[in-house]
Amino acid sequence: MNQHFEATESFAESMDEKDTIAVYKNEFYFPQHNGNNTIYFCGNSLGLQPKNVEAAIKTELGTWRDIAIEGYFKGTNPWLHYHEYVTPSLAKLTGAKPGEVTVMNTLTVNLHLMMLSFYKPNTKRYKIMMEAGAFPSDQYAIETQVKHYGLLPEDAIIEIAPRTGEKIIREEDILAAINEQRDTLALVVFGGINYYTGQLFDIKSITEAVHKAGAVAGWDLAHVTGNVPLQLHDWNVDFAVWCSYKYLNAGPGAIGGVFIHERYAFNNDTPRLAGWWGNDEKTRFKMEKGFIAKPDASGWNISTSQVFNTVALKASLELFDSAGMDNLRAKSVLLTGYLEFLLQQLTTLQFEIITPKEPERRGAQLCLYFSEKGKEVHQKMMDSGIIVDYREPGVIRVAPAPLYCSFEDVFRFYEILSEL
């Protein structure tokens, strides 16, 4: 499908008028610049604050103030089950069955916990495959996991990199490497969307290849959940982890999400490190010996429900439920496509869009590499009230999140760029 775009403000306005989910922009607070709302393209790093969060936090503060310990059973939202209030919406966003999703801890901690369940190196099968240039926390997690088993990272970790002179990893190279390592591969962990380049991997076909090779497929969906719709159950993904403060707008350090396929989640014998909150509720408060796992993903919960780390997620997910992930994605494809179209009109600036061109190979984010003036462009944006992020050398990541960014926002970005 070739979408018709025009590089005019009136065209951007007409797109906003047609946008059936444009109203959700009003549900967010924007950082201020000279008394005006900024244009915010950093939702891939920290999503904006939904306006309904404050009241939601006050509700729980009130419960704590007024009834304290009884809040676990008698609050407006009894805390005993607080983590369960967000799982139906998360299951919808990730294409999970009820019971395959839970929230707990934060992303990297959950990656470690999942690896303790799913990475079982033996003398033959012990290798972990990941993308080169993965998010540093994932690199550290995987490096220290293999060391934990007395293995050498340079032997046990296989990184798949773009070919020389290229910036994007070829799917065919990933599939070939998986097949090549089929006798030694224990686990494959990729970021569903690479945080830097914005490349979205084909989760379904990579997972399939991993299984064919007799290994386990785990995904870090930090940049995917709330950005691109997922079908984790149908794609047979073994496990996935994500954070909630990027596209999910749940605030800094918010609780992390976990998907565990039912073939493990509903099986009490799947190995794990446990705590009381993952224990069967019928016996949890008997305080007896012998862990009995809850028969779903919440059987991996270790500690008591993290109410104040979950409350903003609960509020934010109401917006996702009401806007609908398919509508968000449809708008996002247009919005990012429009951004790309406008950027292509800028013939005087020296830059390259690293992110893949095909909508099915990317989410909201475009990664722009400026061979010169990168820092200058970034400064100009910040001075003009447009928040984007900058990484050396010369990379600007622009992520128009469809919940709170408009076509006019994207046009304004282009307008300022064209002044340079």
Give 60 or 138: the residue with its C-beta nearer to ligand PLP.
138
- Phi, psi for residue 317 in degrees, rounded to 5: -65, -25
Q: 129 pairs with which residues across the strands?
A: 158, 188
25: Cα within 13 Å, side-chain hemisphere: 21
Q: At closest approach, how far in Å is the CB of 44 from ligand PLP?
A: 8
Q: How far is CA 240 from CA 110, 119, 262, 284, in A?
A: 9, 13, 12, 27
Q: At closest approach, how far in Å is the CB of 46 from ligand PLP?
A: 9
Give 25 or 83: the residue with its C-beta nearer to ligand PLP.
83
Q: At closest approach, how far in Å is the CB of 331 from ligand PLP?
A: 22
Q: At closest approach, how far in Å is the CB of 195 from ligand PLP?
A: 4
Per-position DSSP letters for 333-396, written without gaps between them = HHHHHHHHHHHHT--SS-EEE-S-SSGGGB-S-EEEEESSSHHHHHHHHHHTTEE-EEETTTEE
Contacts of 95 (CB under 8 A, 6+ apart): 229, 230, 231, 232, 233, 234, 235
Pick from 184, 136, 137: nearest CA to 158:
184
Give 87 or 108: the residue with its C-beta nearer to ligand PLP.
108
5: Cα within 13 Å, side-chain hemisphere: 23
Q: At closest approach, how far in Å is the CB of 143 from ligand PLP?
A: 14
Q: Where are the alpha helices (DSSP H) in 193-324?
A: 203-212, 262-265, 281-284, 307-323
Give 332 or 365: the residue with its C-beta nearer to ligand PLP.
365
Q: At closest approach, how far in Å is the CB of 192 from ligand PLP?
A: 9
**What is the CA angle 27-31-33, rounded to 5?**
130
Give 19 or 220: the residue with its C-beta nearer to ligand PLP.
220
Which residues of this chain interact with ligand PLP, rule CB under 6 A? 106-108, 135, 137-138, 191, 195, 220, 222-223, 243
Distance CA(373)–CA(375), nearest Å, equals 6
Give 60 or 220: the residue with its C-beta nearer to ligand PLP.
220
Helix (H, G, I), strand (E, B) or coil at 404: coil
Give 107 or 115: the residue with its C-beta nearer to ligand PLP.
107
Q: At closest approach, how far in Å is the CB of 387 from ligand PLP?
A: 17
Distance CA(25)–CA(21), nearest Å, equals 8
